Amino acid sequence: MSTSGRISVTADNIFPIIKKFLYSDHEIFLRELISNAVDATTKLKTLASIGEFKGELGDLTISVKTDKNKKTITISDRGVGMTADEIRRYINEVAFSGAEEFVNKYKDKAGDAGIIGHFGLGFYSAFMVADKVEIFTKSWTQTDEEEGTHWECTGTPDFVMKPIEKKDRGTDIVLHISSDSTEFLEEYRIRELLKKYCRFLPVPIQFGTKEITEKDEKGKEIKKTVPDIVNNPSPAWIKKPSELTHEDYINFYRELYPLSFEEPLFYIHLNVDYPFNLTGILYFPKIKPLMEPSRNKIQLYQNQVFVTDSLEGVVPEFLTLLHGVIDSRDIPLNVSRSYLQSDANVKKISSHITKKVADKLEEMFKNSREDFEQKWNDIKIFIEYGMLSEEKFYERARKFALFPTTDGKFHTLDELRKNLMDRHIDKEGHLVLLYASDKDGQYAYIQKAKDSGHTVLFLDSPLTAHLINKLEYKQDDKLRFARVDAGPLDQLIPKKDQTKLSILSQKQKDDLRDLVAKNVDKEKFTVRVEDLSSSDEPFLITQPEFMRRMKEMNMMGG
Ligand code: ADP
Ligand code: MG
């Protein structure tokens, strides 16, 4: 006997709304339907583990098939299935989510068991690409003799339901693809979507078959056709750090970015359960100063379902320079970007990551300083960028940010203060840090400063101008930076007890300055006649600090 009825929704016809507004990306229908198949499978495994399901689990592989002639996509699972009554409750009542109910019922026994859906609208995303959807299903609670259920709906609030013969437990969802969505009948397109959204789902997913070559007992090579499993159901990040070797981490990096040949510098395995759930592995890539760093390499997952790889505005900007995976049950799956940006859990997660990154860097700095120094050139942009853009990170990184000298030694700000106390403090008590950004071009100035017993830093990062501005502005450290060629030494580090002895007359000085000034660009440089008995040079051409910094910052576009 077949029944028909109306799907109970408040709006008279929800489908046009779903089609237009629910998801900006029509392609996520596949993610939603496969997520449901994964949920159904996970539920069955949970029931088996607590002894409620006593039958054979059998092969739980989910399969995806396309049929160009019939214009269908079929998604099949061998999970819990549904009874007619469950279809009425979970499918016909749009937005009444069976996942929620399941979690509530079993949460004491099995935690939330990694159930993906929480919203109850996922299934209807099928109507973004199909003008008719069929369900063939049979519940794990039904006996072999009982009939399964067929449900059919053509995208209006009306549906038809009738019993069918079905041997196996589980569900087949058949989408009759509409004429404006035929792209999804192309094999390459489905493969692309499976790769994007399902790459690390926890249940094996088959799409078609592939040929492999194997050796038989006699060592003869034979070709074999086997199911093509498109996902890796147990990616590294869901394992315990203690189960993984360094090689495992590197291999997983290669799995994520098959096209990148550089190895990551180091990695952080995230593993939190309280007060929010977060797992993942973050990799530090080498960031070359003059190359545009690659962003949007971090992939955000919810329970191994891909959500997005565009985390700008979601995590602090500097973190988008990292690579890897973050996964949280507490991140909503079906929401817009602006929602993600304002979500409280996402905010907590993002500040947790900032803290973990700072912890890792500090640990490396403390435990293996030499190694940290060796990596400095490749991570400095990341750290400097973090210091500039994220106050919390600044406070942490201030302690381990390194400042190399022209002779290749590395110091922290605290060490510099301690070492340079006697020679680099000006009248106001500021620590004056001389620096060079071009060892060859500023060679004479560097040499002169060193000869007078000064230490010169070598700061050549594209963020240097911004960073030293910030360090001076913060005032906590009472710092002042001066480039070696920004003025005569005695002006760069003015001391109280300076006695000046003039050897030239005022007229001689004026004549000399005019002569030199004729030959340099007055916009950029200042000419000063050295009239100190302590100086070897008769005159100095300098580029005032502020003019140069302005120029550099403008070049940087900030
Ligand atoms: P959600 O997954 O957020 O609960 P959906 O609209 O995706 O919402 O699905 C609604 C409900 O339909 C699910 O909670 C589940 O009870 C049921 N369902 C959907 N697909 C399947 C399936 N393949 N096997 C068993 N039940 C399913
Ligand atoms: Mg769902």
What mean pLDDT is predicted for residues 399-404? 95
Res 303 pLDDT > 50: yes
Pocket probe for ligand 1: among 29, 33, 46, 123, the residue whose CB has the most ligand atoms within 8 Å is: 123
Read off the tokens for 44.
Answer: 């069955």
Q: State residue 418 phi and psi, 5-degree precision.
A: -65, -45
Sign of CA dihedral 230, 232, 233, 238: negative
Question: Ligand 1 within 6 A of 32 CB?
Answer: yes
CA 58 to ligand 2 center in whole angstroms = 23
Question: What is the per-residue pLDDT for 333?
Answer: 67
Q: Kindly report whether the global pTM for this prediction surpasses the value 0.80.
A: no
Question: What is the per-residue pLDDT for 11?
Answer: 41
List, in sequence order, every residue forming a beta bridge with 173; answer none if it has no partner: 75, 135
What mean pLDDT is predicted for residues 429-450? 86
On the 0-12 / 13-18 / 19+ scale of CB atoms within 10 A, 472 is: middle
518 against 171, higher pLDDT: 171
Dump pLDDT digits (tens) for 19-29: 554 555 788 89
Under the banding of pLDDT at 50, 70 and 90, the label for residue 514 is confident
What mean pLDDT is predicted for residues 266-284? 93
Dump pLDDT digits (tens) for 521-532: 777 777 766 655
CA 96 to ligand 1 center in whole angstroms = 9
Which residue's alpha carbon is at the smallest distance from atom 14 of ligand 1? Answer: 98
Report the nearest atom of ligand 1 relative to the CA of 173: 23
Question: What is the per-residue pLDDT for 191?
Answer: 96
Res 135 pLDDT > 80: yes
Question: Ligand 1 within 6 A of 122 CB?
Answer: yes
CA 75 to ligand 1 center in whole angstroms = 13
Please give the distance of CA 412 from its chain centroid, rounded to a whole number. 29
CA 185 to ligand 2 center in whole angstroms = 22
Question: What is the per-residue pLDDT for 516?
Answer: 77
Mean of the per-residue pLDDT values for the chain? 84
Report the nearest atom of ligand 1 relative to the CA of 80: 25
Question: What is the per-residue pLDDT for 499?
Answer: 47
Task: Pick out the residues of the known binding site.
Answer: 32, 36, 77, 82, 97-98, 171, 337
Pocket probe for ligand 1: among 63, 90, 127, 141, the residue whose CB has the most ligand atoms within 8 Å is: 90
Question: Ligand 1 within 6 A of 9 CB?
Answer: no
CA 179 to ligand 1 center in whole angstroms = 26
Which residue's alpha carbon is at the smallest distance from atom 19 of ligand 1? Answer: 36
CA 123 to ligand 1 center in whole angstroms = 6
Look up residue 555 and give its amino acid: M
CA 32 to ligand 1 center in whole angstroms = 9
- Quickly count: other Cβ atoms within 10 Å of residue 6's Cβ: 11
Question: What is the per-residue pLDDT for 20?
Answer: 52
Res 12 pLDDT > 60: no
Residues 6+ apart with CB under 8 A from 96: 89, 90, 120
Which residue's alpha carbon is at the smallest distance from atom 2 of ligand 1? Answer: 117
Dump pLDDT digits (tens) for 206-232: 999 999 998 888 889 999 999 999 999
Under the banding of pLDDT at 50, 70 and 90, the label for residue 143 is very high
Cα 385 to Cα 262, 319, 466: the distances in Å are 22, 9, 9
List, in sequence order, every residue forming a beta bridge with 302; answer none if it has no partner: 305
Cα 470 to Cα 295, 355, 377: the distances in Å are 24, 21, 20
CA 195 to ligand 1 center in whole angstroms = 22
Range with lowest mean pLDDT among 52-56, 346-350, 355-359, 539-543: 539-543
CA 78 to ligand 2 center in whole angstroms = 16
% pLDDT > 70, the chain: 83
CA 295 to ligand 2 center in whole angstroms = 30
Task: Pick out the residues of the known binding site for ATP.
Answer: 32, 36, 77, 82, 97-98, 171, 337
Q: In the block, which residue shows the tokens 């979507």?
A: 193
Report the nearest atom of ligand 1 relative to the CA of 43: 25
103 against 341, higher pLDDT: 341
Report the nearest atom of ligand 1 relative to the CA of 94: 6
Question: What is the per-residue pLDDT for 103?
Answer: 53
On the 0-12 / 13-18 / 19+ scale of CB atoms within 10 A, 440 is: exposed
Closest ligand to residue 172's CA: 1
Res 13 pLDDT > 70: no
Res 59 pLDDT > 90: yes
What mean pLDDT is predicted for residues 153-177? 92
Which residue's alpha carbon is at the smallest distance from atom 23 of ligand 1? Answer: 37
Read off the tokens for 154.
Answer: 């053509």
Q: Which regions of 341-450 does DSSP assign to beta strands (E)?
A: 403-404, 410-411, 431-436
What mean pLDDT is predicted for residues 437-445? 86
Pocket probe for ligand 1: among 7, 18, 36, the residue whose CB has the most ligand atoms within 8 Å is: 36
For 393, how many CA atoms within 13 A lie in the half-sphere containing its CB? 25
Which residue's alpha carbon is at the smallest distance from atom 21 of ligand 1? Answer: 36
Dump pLDDT digits (tens) for 225-260: 999 999 999 999 999 999 999 999 999 999 999 888
Residues 6+ apart with CB under 8 A from 347: none
Under the banding of pLDDT at 50, 70 and 90, the label for residue 122 is confident
Question: Ligand 1 within 6 A of 127 CB?
Answer: no
ipTM: 0.99
Report the nearest atom of ligand 1 relative to the CA of 334: 3
Which residue's alpha carbon is at the smallest distance from atom 13 of ligand 1? Answer: 98
Report the nearest atom of ligand 1 relative to the CA of 35: 2
Report the nearest atom of ligand 1 relative to the CA of 79: 24
29 against 549, higher pLDDT: 29
Question: What is the per-residue pLDDT for 283?
Answer: 95
Under the banding of pLDDT at 50, 70 and 90, the label for residue 307 is confident
Closest ligand to residue 99's CA: 1
Pocket probe for ligand 1: among 15, 39, 103, 166, the residue whose CB has the most ligand atoms within 8 Å is: 39
Q: CA–CA separation, 379 vs 373, rounded Å?
A: 10
Res 413 pLDDT > 50: yes
What mean pLDDT is predicted for residues 135-147? 96
Under the banding of pLDDT at 50, 70 and 90, the label for residue 510 is confident
First to last CA, the chain: 72
